[in-house]
Amino acid sequence: MLLQQILNGTVSGAIYALFALGFTLIFGVQKLLNLAHGAIFMAGAFIAYYATAQGLPFWFALILATVATGVISVAVDFVAFRQLRKSGHAEFAAIVTSIGVDLILMNIAQQVSKTKVLSFPFGTFPVKFFNFWGMRISLLQLTILGLVLVLVLALAYYINRTSFGRQVRAVSSNEHASALLGISAGAVYRQTFFIAGALAGLAGVLIGLSFNSIHFMMGEPFLLQAFVVVVIGGLGSLQGAVIAAILIGIIQSLTIAFLSSELSSAIIFALLFVTLLLFPNGLFGRAGNYAGGSRT
């Protein structure tokens, strides 16, 4: 029973990781909190749903949704953030513009779905279970784990080994210096927004499939969750986000199973608070320490 919960938690944590990775990538590179990320996640689920409803094979719908949300994400950047970057007022203002985008996307989704809760047609994904070590794992869960693992490794490779990844790292640490070196910050931003959006959209499809419910406000709780993940994992740290996401998934699964779902929320956010108490920059955070008048 315990092991089963841990397994379930790991799977949901894996999906949180996809969502959180995109969020932390954008923050790491641009220091922006993109509150529209939840809506992009939701858009992924919507696109996949309407694609399968039209009769397209699921795998195709999945890829379509992933790519489409990547594009939507770049469009969001263009509409909401590009102008702010130019005027140099990014931090606070970005929160408001991303809220604006969030409102727009949710409204569109609400109208399209007529405020109904949607579910994928039966048989969209084969229902098959495997048993081992006393645990029951579905084909879907296995697929999710596999998919997330591959994507995380691919992202890590991309950021750390390719030349474009180097550019991403350069722009995140110092945009001006990078520009002097001929790196196009705009191209970097577009790519990171595409990746972040695609990952979030994919996560949306997987969640929509796992819980078999899709509705226009489904992104909100995930956004809150993402805050916990990126803080505990360290804003801007990719490996931190993955580890923290899985931890959160497991803790959540265990507390819901053995305590209650409301308490689960309280515990996770209290955990966040305590983590910040002990590690003011997150568990894996890198920024300098704030002295606040004391001697260093």
User: What are the b/e assignments for 80-103, b being 16+ CB within 10 Å?
Assistant: bbeebbeeeebeebbeebbeebbe
Query: Closest CB to other proteins among 66 and 234?
Result: 234
Query: Closest CB to other proteins among 127 and 263?
Result: 263
Smallest distance, other proteins to C-beta of residue 252, A? 12
Query: Closest CB to other proteins among 96 and 149?
Result: 96
Query: Closest CB to other proteins among 182 and 293?
Result: 293
Q: What is the dihedral of CA 191, 195, 196, 199, to 10 degrees?
A: 170
Smallest distance, other proteins to C-beta of residue 28, A? 11
Cα distance between residue 267 and residue 37, in whole Å: 24
Query: Cβ neighbours of residue 174 under 8 Å, at least 6 residues apart?
Result: none
Smallest distance, other proteins to C-beta of residue 92, A? 5
Smallest distance, other proteins to C-beta of residue 233, A? 12
Smallest distance, other proteins to C-beta of residue 99, A? 6
Report the interface residues with other proteins, using CB under 8 A: 27, 31, 33, 35, 79-80, 83-84, 87, 89, 92-93, 95-97, 99-104, 106-108, 110-111, 220, 223-224, 227-228, 231, 235, 260, 262-263, 265-266, 269-270, 272-273, 276-277, 280-282, 285, 287, 290-296
Smallest distance, other proteins to C-beta of residue 234, A? 10
Query: Closest CB to other proteins among 104 and 147?
Result: 104
Which two structure tokens, joined as six digits, stand for 54? 């039209």
DSSP E strands: which ranges in the chain? Answer: 129-132, 135-138
Query: Closest CB to other proteins among 25 and 64?
Result: 25
Query: Closest CB to other proteins among 135 and 267?
Result: 267
Cα distance between residue 224 and residue 232, in whole Å: 13
Mutual orientation of helices 163-173 and 2-30 as an angle, nearest 10°? 70
Cα distance between residue 5 and residue 117, in whole Å: 27
Element housing 69 (H / E) = helix 58-76
Exposed, middle or buried, 115 (CB in 10 Å: 0-12/13-18/19+)? exposed
Query: Cβ neighbours of residue 58 under 8 Å, at least 6 residues apart?
Result: 48, 52, 124, 125
Smallest distance, other proteins to C-beta of residue 293, A? 4
